[in-house]
A and B are shown apart, each in its own frame.
Chain A
Amino acid sequence: MKLHERFLQIDRRIIYAILLLVVTLPLVFRSPLKVTPMSPVEKLFEAVDNTPDDMAVIIDCSYAPQIKAEVEPMAIALLRHAFKTRKKVLVLSLYVEMIGLATKALNQVVGEFNSLALTANDSIIYGRDYVFLGWQPPPIVPMLGMGESISAIYVVDYYGNQTDTLAMMKGIKNYNNINILVALSGSSIPISWVAYAQNRYGLRVGVGCTAVSGADFYPYYQTGQFTGLMVGMKGAAEYEELIERRRGVEGRRIASEAMLSLTYAHLVIILFIIAGNIGYFISRRKQRRSQ
Chain B
Amino acid sequence: MKKTIPLVLIFVAGLLGIISFVIPHPAYQTYDEWIRNSFLRVLSAFAMVLALGSLLRVHFDKIRRRRKNWQYSWLLLIAFGASSIIGLFGGVAADGILPTAIGSFHFDIQVLYENIVIPLASSMFALLAFFMASAAYRAFRVRSTEATLLLTAAFIVMIGVLPLGHSISKHLPMFVQWILNVPNVAGQRGIVLGIALGVVATSLKIILGIERAWLGGGE
A residues sitting closer than 8 Å to B (CB atoms) are 10, 12, 15-16, 19-20, 23, 33-36, 38-40, 64-69, 100-101, 103-104, 136-138, 140-141, 144-145, 148, 152-153, 158-160, 211, 214-216, 218-219, 222, 232, 234, 259, 262-263, 265-270, 272-273, 275-277, 280-281
Contacts and interface: CB of A to CB of B under 8 A. Distances in A.
B102 interface: no
A277 B37 contact: no
19 contacts: A19-B130, A19-B133, A35-B166, A65-B122, A66-B122, A100-B109, A137-B44, A138-B44, A140-B40, A141-B36, A141-B37, A141-B44, A218-B181, A218-B188, A266-B162, A269-B136, A270-B159, A272-B136, A273-B136
Which 9 pairs show the lowest CB-CB distances between chains A and B?
A: A100-B113, A65-B121, A66-B125, A272-B137, A65-B118, A12-B134, A138-B44, A137-B44, A33-B163
Interface footprint category on B:
35 or more
Given A67-B125, A137-B48, A259-B162, A280 B141 contact: yes
Interface in B131-149: 132-134, 136-138, 140-142
Interface in B95-117: 109-110, 113-114, 117
Q: Residue among B36, B93, B122 with the most chain A CB within 10 A? A: B36
Q: Output the residue of B92, B133, B140 with the most chain A CB within 10 A.
A: B133
Contacts of B126: 69
B163 A259 contact: yes
Interface of B: 33, 36-37, 40-41, 44-45, 48, 92-93, 109-110, 113-114, 117-118, 120-122, 124-126, 129-130, 132-134, 136-138, 140-142, 151, 155, 158-159, 161-164, 166, 170, 173, 177, 180-181, 184-185, 188-189, 192
A68 B118 contact: yes
Contact of B164 (A10, A16, A19, A263): A263
A229 to B, nearest CB: 10
Contacts of B44: 137-138, 141
Query: Interface majority SS on B: helix, strand, loop or mixed?
Result: helix
A215 B138 contact: no
B137 A215 contact: no
Contact of B41 (A137, A268, A276): A137
Contacts of A34: 163
A269 B121 contact: no
Interface centre among A65, A215, A280 (most CB of B within 10 A): A65
A159 B92 contact: yes
Given A158-B92, A277-B140, A265 B129 contact: yes
Given A145-B33, A276-B138, A280-B142, A266 B158 contact: yes
A66 B185 CA distance: 27
A160 to B, nearest CB: 8
A12 B134 CA distance: 6
Contacts of A159: 92-93
Contact of A263 (B132, B162, B185): B162
Given A67-B125, A272-B137, A104 B114 contact: yes
